[in-house]
Structures are given as structure tokens and as C-alpha cells.
Structure 1
Amino acid sequence: MPLSARAPPRPSRETHGHHRTSPHAASTGRDLHTRVRVLAARADRTLGSCHIGRLTAPPEPAPIPGRPPTPGRGPTSGQGPYARTSRPDTLIGPDNALPLRRVLDDGRPAHWILRIRLVDEYRGHAAVHTGLLDLV
């Protein structure tokens, strides 16, 4: 078969440990939370938390040789939209109707940490999955 007739390779579902989403994936925090809750129920599990992720700071840029790191950035700084907070728009939960793929007030794209806690109440087991939600 000539190269031009071959279908292009399918993108990997996982790249560098970050899960890729499809164009049909949930678009709001509420949609993704509902989808995960339904999938958990199909597996006879329940969610162990009222949310399944949160807004986080974007990846730090590579350090510039000879320049000290910038203090006060990131989720532990206690300032800005990356501070740990319970505002619905900063959580992937049933109260967040905003798109997950969006630009924040400071002009940066939103970055999300996915943290799904699944509980098997019958067996008394629980598990947690944590990772960067890649919306590219």
C-alpha cells in the first residue's frame, strides 16, 4: 500500500504520564465530575470526595542560569487563583459550570490536577489516582 493511502497514526492515549483527552471529553468541571461518578458507579465504587481535582499553578519555566527563582509562585504561595481554596470555579466538581479549558484572569491557561478517590464500600478498600489533567 502506498504511504499516501495509509491512515495517519493514532495519537497515544498517554504521553509522558499525562492523560490526553479526546475532543468529546467533558468540557466543564460539572461534566467531568458527572462522567467520573457514573463510571465509578458502573464499577460498584463511590467517589470518596465531593470533587475530583483542582486548579493548580502552571508548570514552572526552566530556571535561568545565574538568576534566583521567583518567590511566591505556585499553589503554596497563598495568593492568586492557584491558592488552595474551595471556590467552585477552582475545583472539578458538581458546582463548576465553567469550561476546564479556559484562560484565567492573569492571562494564563488553566492547569488542573486530577485527584480521583474511589471507595469500594463492600470490601472496605479505597484507591487514589492523581495526575496532571492534560487538555491539549
Structure 2
Amino acid sequence: MAQNKLLVYFGKNSLLFLYVHFIILLKFNSMEYRQAYVVWIMTTGLTFAFMKLCQYLNQYIERYFDNIAVWIVAIALICTLPIVFMHQPKYVVWGEMLLGIIFACNYQTLSQLVKRKLSAQNSLKSVMDNW
């Protein structure tokens, strides 16, 4: 039963899982640790713990993502990071991973912002059409 809860948690937070899991596997790969079962168990445990930590830390910044300007800055950073650090790929990878984690923790807020904006535009359009 607990195993199913873990899989459901990973599934509901799949984008965050992707970024966190990738970071952990990058670290294991750089250590050249090759015992597959140990790596698999440690990766699963560390992924879960790091995802929980990311979600806990996100509570301190999530309120800022109610502003569309913050999303525009985040997207601009994602797009410009590879250009700014063109000759330092390590910075690009880690910077994009960090931004990806922040995005994964807050993308539901972006979805809500877009829905509210579209709903407001449709309401205004129907008012104008009925004028």
C-alpha cells in the first residue's frame, strides 16, 4: 500500500520528479558508483526526500508566482542562460535544473493565471458583444 502511495506521489509531481531524479542520477554518474541496486534504492529515497524538501522550500517563494511578470522573468532566464554561459555548460545544466525545479513546483499557478486571464477576456468580450 505504501508503495502505491509513493508511485502516486511521484506521478502527481512528475515534472518535479524528472528534474530531481535527473540531478541525483547526474551526481551518481559523476561518482562512478556502479552497484545498480544500491544506486536504484538510494536514488528513489533521495528523490523522494529532495522532492519533499523542494516543496517545503517552495512555500517561501510561491506567492511571487501569482504575478505574470515573475513568469516572464523566469522564462527569460531559461532562454538566456545558455547564451550567457555558453562556454560554461556546467552552469547552464545546473541553472536550468534549478529553474526547472522552481517551474515544476509552481506551474499550477501559471495555469490558474492563464485561466483567469482568458476567463476575464471572454467575459469582457461577451459584455462588448451584448452592448
TM over 0.5: no
Task: Point out the structure with the larger helix share.
Answer: 2
